[in-house]
Structures are given as structure tokens and as C-alpha cells.
Structure 1
């Protein structure tokens, strides 16, 4: 019974897929917010770590913000996700029982590759973000730190979940700041962003439940 919210959240997320590229509406916002609210409920009911549950809840708030139009709503969503990543960092560090910088001795190749990706955003992303430049830069640093903290764990579902979350945000950054509105890959990008995001969050949740 405690796992029912996960299955329901996944079903709602799957049903939302055709709406990923539709105009903002209250129906779309509610539909987009529900899966992570249900994931947070599942985490609570299964006694998952409090930082994980809170991170899932903040992600739901982030989903709501990004489902609305306007720069203010975008900044609200971005801030909620940044805080969610901070909580995921605390969650992963608590599981790993070691400081973040140890990742460069435990998993040096993926850690350096991730660091290189973060640095590269100054070339292909930052110049195209306009007045959102610094908020985006801060978010990139926070999600990068989340990825590094996940690499401290033995390779498994939590690590894969964090990787899919980062991949989703990477595609989102390209879609928002580098694609024209009439780009032929816009529709596919929306599907990939949502699919990788939901899969990543579900894996992060399941990793917290099974550990």
C-alpha cells in the first residue's frame, strides 16, 4: 500500500507526456506537479530519509514553477530545484559518510568528466541566458555538486537516478536557451526531458527506500 503513490505517480507522469509541449494552463500545471507530490508521499510513507522526502517535495514545487509562463515563474521553479538538489546532496553525503571532495579519489574519471561538463557551460550555455545568467550559473553549480555527491555511493540506482536528472536538465538547457521555437527537435526534446526527469527522480526515491 505504501508503494501505491509511486505507481500512481508514474502513471500520471506517463499520461502527462503528450502535454510536455502544450501552452501553460492550470490543468497542465496540476498534472505536472502531481507525480513528484506522490513520490514525496511515497517517501514519507516508507520512512525514507527526511532530506530525500523534502527534496522530492521541493521538486514538485519546481515542476509547478516551470509549468507557468514568465521569468518570475521560471526563477521560482529554478530556486525550488536548486534547494531540492542541496537536500539531495545532504542525503547522498549522509549515505556515503564521507566529504564531497573524496569523490575525486573514489570515482576520478566520472567526477572529472562531470566537472568538465560544468565548466563547458560557460561556453555553450551562459552567453545565451541573458538576464538569467547568474541564476543559471548557480543552478549549474548546485546540480553539479549533487551529481558529484551521488558518485560517492556504490554504483546503483541512486547514482543512475542522479545521472538521468542531470541529463534531463542538460537537454532542458539546450531546449530553453539554444533551440528556436520552430526547431524540428523541440517536440522530441520535451519528451526526453520529462522521461529522463521522472525516471531519475523515481530512481533517487527507490535508492532511498532500498538502502
Structure 2
């Protein structure tokens, strides 16, 4: 196999893996996201992030992105099960994924980068983070401390994404979609009644935002630092 043929094969695997993950994400959104816990639900939910991670690995994506996607898959499995212990396990897995994204995004800033991220998006993100002390934290019960730490990490991830250099807009959109999906999940988990008519729309919206956001981060920032230099 020639070098060009190998490159073409790896690119096919990349987009094929992303397409596979997207397909299972759509299946999960349409069929499983609003249903009670079951092993078929768990298995389908685990596929998208693992498919993204495998596609990235074959194409030498940044190890931080691959690790974050694997942690996200672990979080997806945990959140597909019932109980506070499963929820806390998922929270920890996603918190670690956000931490890896913070490290990735900060590492993509040029050495001579100065100044602050865009003012209006930064203020909006900070306002959202601060507002959680009103609408989220008081309702988190025993998870109040864990929720506060998670909010800090996801806010740091968002600020790091907003600091990315020009040309990384896809990754920025992905990070913001991820944050929005977490906000919807928080509303659904801690503020929304189980019988609310908004439960199903919220489940579908947060899952599509989350899966699309992760794919955007992979494609927008996962290959920004070449593993090999010719």
C-alpha cells in the first residue's frame, strides 16, 4: 500500500467512524434517550463516543481528545443507569473529560497569544456559571459540592475554547454545544418533574447537542497538533 493509499484509507476510517457514531447517536435520540434504563440503551449510548475515539486514534488524533472521548463514553454508560451512585460516576468521568479539553485548548494557544477571549461570549458564559448558584446548586442536595466543581470545570473548558486561535471555530462551537447540553441535563435532572411534557424534548436536544459537540471538537481540534513532523 502506498503512502497516498494509506492516507486515503485512514481518512475513510475517520469519516466512517464519525458517521457511525452519528448514526448511533441518532438512533439513541430517536429510540432510547427517553426510555428507562436497559442494557440495549446502555450499549447504543456507548457507541458514538467510542466510534469517535477509534476514528481519531486510527488517524493519530491528539491523545487528549481520544482520552476525553473514552472518558465521555464511560460517563455515558454511567448516566444510562439509574441511581445516584451511577450519576456521580458519570459526573466524575465527564469532569475529567472537561479537564482534558481544558489542557488541549490551552495547549493550542500560540506562545505569543495575548489578550482576553471575546467579551460578550465570555460574559455570557460567566453569567451562566454564576446563575447556577440560584437555579441549580440549591437543588442538588448531597451532590451540591460535586456540582459546583463540575460547573467550575465546564466553565474553564468554555473559556479555554473561547481563547482558541482563529481557524478553530468548529471546536469552539463544539465546546459551547457541550456546555449547553450539560445545562439542559442539569435542568432535567434537578428541576424538571419526571412527568413533565418537556422531558422527552429535553432528552433529545441535550443528546444531539452533546454528540454533535463532541464530533465538532474532534474534527475542529483533534488534529491541530501533528503527531509526526516530516
Structure 1 length as normaliser, TM-score? 0.94
After superposition, the Cα gap between the structure-2 partners of 1:84 and 1:196, relative to the gap in structure 1 and judged at 3 Å, is same
Contact 1:65 1:77 in 2 (8 A): yes
Q: 1:7 aligns with which of 12, 15, 19?
A: 19
Q: Which residue of 1 aligns with 2:171?
A: 158
CA drift at 1:106: 3.2
SS of 1:13's partner is helix
Structure 2: unaligned runs, 5 residues or longer = 1-11, 225-230
Q: Which residue of 2 aligns with 1:200?
A: 213
CA drift at 1:110: 1.3
Cα separation, 2, equivalents of 1:93 and 1:29: 33
CA drift at 1:108: 2.2
Cα separation, 2, equivalents of 1:118 and 1:187: 25
Equivalent positions of 1:3-152 (< 5 A) are 3=14, 4-17=16-29, 18-97=31-110, 105-152=116-163
After superposition, the Cα gap between the structure-2 partners of 1:86 and 1:99, relative to the gap in structure 1 and judged at 3 Å, is farther
Larger Rg: 2
Structure 1: unaligned runs, 5 residues or longer = none
Cα separation, 2, equivalents of 1:74 and 1:179: 16
Show CA shifts across 1:13-46 (max 9, x none): 1111121010101111111011101111111111
CA drift at 1:206: 0.6
Q: Which residue of 1 aligns with 2:195?
A: 182
Q: Root-mean-square deviation (CA), in Å?
A: 1.7
Query: Going by fraction, where is helix more abundant, 1 or 2?
Result: 1
Cα separation, 1, equivalents of 2:76 and 2:13: 23
Which protein has greater RCO, CA pairs closer than 8 Å, 6+ apart? Answer: 2
Structure 2 length as normaliser, TM-score? 0.87
User: In the comparison of the two structures, how many residue pairs are matched?
Assistant: 209
